[in-house]
Amino acid sequence: MEDKDAIEASLRNIDKRAVVEEYFLHCLAFNTMDDREEEITAAHKATFNWILNYNENTDDMKSNNLISWLRDDHRQKVYWINGKPGSGKSTLMRFVYEHPNTTEILKDWAKDKLLICPRFFFWTSGTIEQKSAFGLLRSLLYQLLQQMRELIPWTFSEIWLKYQDARARVREPIVWSIEFLWSALIRFLKLSDGKVKICFFIDGLDELEGNQEELVDMLHSIVESSTKDFKACVSSRPWKIFEQAFANIPQLKLQDLTRNDIWRYVNDSLNDNEKVRRVLKENTKLTEELKSQVTENADGVFLWATLAVRTLVQDINSTNSVTNLIEKLSDLPKDLDNLFRYLLFKLKTTTELEEQSRILQIIQARDIVCDFTRHDSSNVVTLYQMTLANYWNLEVTNEPIKLPDTQILEKCESTKNHLLNRCAGLLRVHQRKRSNQEDTGVRFGRNDVDTETFAQGRIGYLHRTVRDYFVYSGDFDKITKQTNHSNFDPHISLLRSHVLQLIHPLEPPKKHRRLDEWWPDIVLAMTHARFVNPMFKDSQIELLDHFKSILDWYWLPRPMDPLDNWARNTFSTYERRMKYRTEYHYPFLSLATKFGLHHYVESKLDTGNYPYQGGIPLLTYAVEYLVSRRSSVYPLASSDLVQILLNKGEDVNLIYKDLANNDETPWIQVLKHIREADRKGWIEKSETEETNGWIRIVEDFIQHGADPNVSFLKNMWDPAATAMDILIVVHEKYKLPSLQRLLL
């Protein structure tokens, strides 16, 4: 009752209430929330019109008519669109969601109530939010609460009062959990009952990263807890889990209903090409046979038809005939994986295969890094990044130079053409929509966008099936072998690209102190550096030096602070760092240590130019993520790096002041990390280098003088204990053989 009264009181200050409501919406939103929907190919003209047009609904649709389901208040609350891979499910979902007829039909259903239609498009190649139930819940709540802001305080009643305080909003930003978001969604649905009609559109249930069964259970729970004012249209591949869950609800099998759409697409696409049109005029009968055969071979899979048509029109000339096109069509495999294999490898020269390999390895390298960092800001390679990584051998300098827009556009356009041709159209470049339409710079040819928008076009797979092919078919080894004889490493290429982006920015370079603008690229560059093949370590070290130097140029230092540096600002907050005047003499070297760059760290320590001068030692940074990475972009502690530091004279018992002005040593930090990991259940029983490499680090510490009898006082979490007590407790609990050997 007190909380309710307090919340009511907080709502009387209308201006403050608006600020806090906006804060909650801001915390729910994420950068890539709309990216997948934007990237889905718009339906070809007149395609899918039948699904929302009474006059065009086929006999097959009568029993599961989407129009009736959208309008009906008494039928099942879920409608399932399913189809084979590549049949156009996502395109159909976008078509239905955006079509004005859908809104009008749902308004008939809503009558005089507010209508809200949240949508979410799962994307297996995207960020963690794009492919998780966590992201789904954040997106749905954001869209719902954006329309009913008055329910924000009550949806988040447990934390609403806390964030009335501006200091709390700055110091303790909201960290969502899936359990909290789930309870908030259920609470919203109960609070809004009778006031609003809600229709979810959720595409790609099969693209969830995780347990699809839990997602289905979640959907069923929403349905069961909702009144007739809720419904959901969902789509997925016809996997067994979905067939069982949705067996008795309205549904359609997309590949059974799109023959006419595919024929129309084939007809229009062939006729849109002037050279093809001339060839087709020569024999009308064979032309109709060609169109029908493409449609038949596609078997309801739009993606197959798209790639087949592209292959037919590619390199066509006046010597071709319809017969030639039919013969060419007969060579194309009908299975998608075999078609991808044919398009990638058939009739390609050695040079073309090598270039294709470099492109695809760069795409894969970014996937690897983003899967590791789980950082959602830069999960794809942009056109400009690919250009700098693979197509533009610019000089690396330590001061930025703005290149002419026309030059950037020309190079990026050339890169785009190479991507499409070398990779047989299996990659695409997506240009984000501009937030406004004013003319802000040079424009280039038919790409009616400014330089930055065009250059920042995101390179991605044409379709999920393409990504699946590269991940699961086993052919990627064949692809990578094409560069075995060359001096190529994709992570070096991307590290170089990040350096060159700072040297040649798309906007005029300016000095500033906004580290958050660089941080996503810092994370990616440093992580790519860690994945570099050791045979390229000299290049890695040289590029990291340039990376540091160019960021030093950009940083606007505080005149009265001789130790001010951008890299220092990556360690905690300014207030916390400065409260006890924590020293950072080699901040970039400390950052390189946190990122596990042992070749770089070793090379710098070998120079003798980095003696310890105070502050937190490198050894402490090296063991910061000893047992678990938690939600970090940093890697687990590396025993190789720890060995390097110990061999260079780092002292495991060095006493220093931490950020809270407490006396610490690297050894005490190791023991604290072990206790925390035990308390929070992070220690794993499996014996692998990755999961229990920390035991080897403990052994190295003891061999270099760490005191096994050092004592810990009792605190609010743990009892008093010695170092050996802690290790014995962990051994008895987890029965780890390598730890047992250490204790003997």
DSSP line for 693-736: HHHHHHHHHHHTT--TT-EE---SSS--EEHHHHHHHHHHHH--
Confidence grade of residue 443 (pLDDT, cut at 50, 70, 90) = very low
Helix or strand or coil: residue 237? coil
The residue whose two tokens read 């909702």 is: 226
**Domain ranges in the chain with CATH number 1.25.40.20:** 560-743
Task: Assign 47 a pLDDT band (cuts: 50, 70, 90).
Answer: confident
Q: How far apart are CA 380 and CA 376, in angstroms?
A: 10
What are the pLDDT digits (tens) for 248-260? 899 999 999 999 9
Residue 445 has pLDDT above 70, yes or no: no
Kindly tell me if the per-residue pLDDT of 128 is higher than 60. yes
Angle at 124 between CA 123 and CA 126, to 5 degrees: 65
Tens digit of each residue's pLDDT (9 = 90 or more) over 696-716: 999 999 999 999 888 887 788
d(CA 176, CA 443): 42
Is it the case that residue 688 has pLDDT exceeding 80?
no
| pLDDT tens for each residue of 384-398 | 999 999 998 888 988
Q: What is the pLDDT of residues 458-489, one digit of tens each?
A: 999 999 999 999 999 999 999 999 999 889 99
**What confidence score (pLDDT) does residue 583 get?**
78
Q: Which of 317-326, 345-354, 458-467 has the lowest mean pLDDT?
A: 317-326
What separation in angstroms does the CA of 436 have from each of 432, 450, 453, 455? 12, 11, 12, 17
Instruction: Please state which CATH class domain 560-743 belongs to.
Output: mainly alpha
pTM higher than 0.85 for the full model?
Answer: yes
Least confident interval from 447-461, 501-515, 680-694, 727-741 = 680-694
| pLDDT range class, residue 356, cuts 50, 70, 90 | very high
Among 231-240, 601-610, 684-693, where is mean pLDDT lowest? Answer: 684-693
For the ranges 372-376, 574-578, 610-614, the one whose mean pLDDT is highest: 610-614
Q: Residue 478: how many CA atoms within 13 Å on its side-chain side?
A: 12
Report residue 442's pLDDT band, with 50, 70 and 90 as the boundaries.
very low
Lateral strand order in the sheet of 458-461 = 381-382, 458-461, 427-430
Percent residues over pLDDT 70 in the chain: 93
Distance CA 623, CA 635 (A): 10
Average pLDDT of the residues in 522-529:
96
Mean pLDDT highest for which of 309-323, 420-434, 635-649? Answer: 635-649
Predicted confidence at residue 206, as pLDDT, reads 94
pLDDT at residue 689 in the model: 61
Q: Is residue 105 scored above 50 in pLDDT?
A: yes
